[in-house]
Amino acid sequence: MRWFLALISPFGHSSPFKATRPGKADEKFETTARILTDAEREKAFEKAVEVFPLYGKYQKKAPREIPVIALERPATRG
């Protein structure tokens, strides 16, 4: 839970941080976190459930909506 709070805090959310892609330990990049909402969240959550079906089961039992976070790279300047 602490990692999630760090992502959504005013400092963690607005400040870029380093991330590593799964399976690509040598690839590190600057990113910012954004909590997905509405249709965008639903689409991402459906994909997550396809990969890990227990997420769907947990969501049915949970008293709240499970947040889905997008890690976004900054736009490159050309």
Q: Can you give the CATH number for the domain in which 66 is found? A: 2.30.110.10
Would you say residue 46 lies in a domain?
yes
The answer, as to whether pTM is greater than 0.85, is: no
DSSP string, 25-66: EEEEEEEEEEE--HHHHHHHHHHHHHH-THHHHHHHH-SSPP
Would you say residue 53 lies in a domain?
yes
Beta carbons of 69 and 35 less than 8 angstroms apart = yes
Question: Bigger pLDDT: 55 or 21?
Answer: 55
Count up the domains in the chain and report the number: 1
Task: Give the residue numbers spanning the domain of 16.
Answer: 2-72
Q: Is the pLDDT of residue 55 over 60?
A: yes
Q: What is the pLDDT of residue 71?
A: 81
Would you say residue 9 lies in a domain?
yes
Average pLDDT, rounded, for the chain: 79
* Residue percentage of the chain with pLDDT more than 70: 68
Query: What single letter denotes the amino acid at residue 58?
Result: Y
Would you say residue 38 lies in a domain?
yes
Q: What is the pLDDT of residue 60?
A: 95
Would you say residue 78 lies in a domain?
no
